[in-house]
Amino acid sequence: MDTERKRAQEKQVVHCMIALYCRRKHHTRGALCPDCAALEAYACQRSDHCPFIRTKTFCSQCKVHCYHPEMRERIRQVMRFSGPRMLWVHPVLAVRHLWETCRERFQTRRKP
């Protein structure tokens, strides 16, 4: 998979998870609230400048965490809430994300 496609896919998953979180927790419709919009912009900026995009699947699988601790905790809350619900809202994205994560774990275990 090429680098730009991986970046776009990662951004799409993050956007869908943040949108679901914002819609359910902050009761927004359509646009994100300012806090969630800032979190999404931060996540996209981190993804745009990631030097490990070729070798990693998602930020959660990365050995180096480039998120500021406060933002890392916020994105963790979003992922914890939205992750299980993504299967009902965006099943294709959720299954693809799960597949890529499992494949990455399997490949890292096989390496000596």
φ, ψ dihedrals at 67, nearest 5°: -75, 145
In angstroms, the CA 56 to CA 68 distance is 19
pLDDT of residue 112: 59
Cα→Cα distances 40→12, 30, 33, 91, Å: 10, 15, 11, 21
Strands of 47-89, DSSP E: none
Q: What is the pTM of this model?
A: 0.85
pLDDT of residue 49: 85
pLDDT of residue 111: 62
In angstroms, the CA 36 to CA 40 distance is 6
Q: What is the CA radius of gyration of the chain?
A: 14
Q: How many domains does the chain contain in total?
A: 1
pLDDT of residue 17: 94
Segments of the chain with pLDDT less than 50? none
Domain of 38 in residue numbering reads as: 3-110
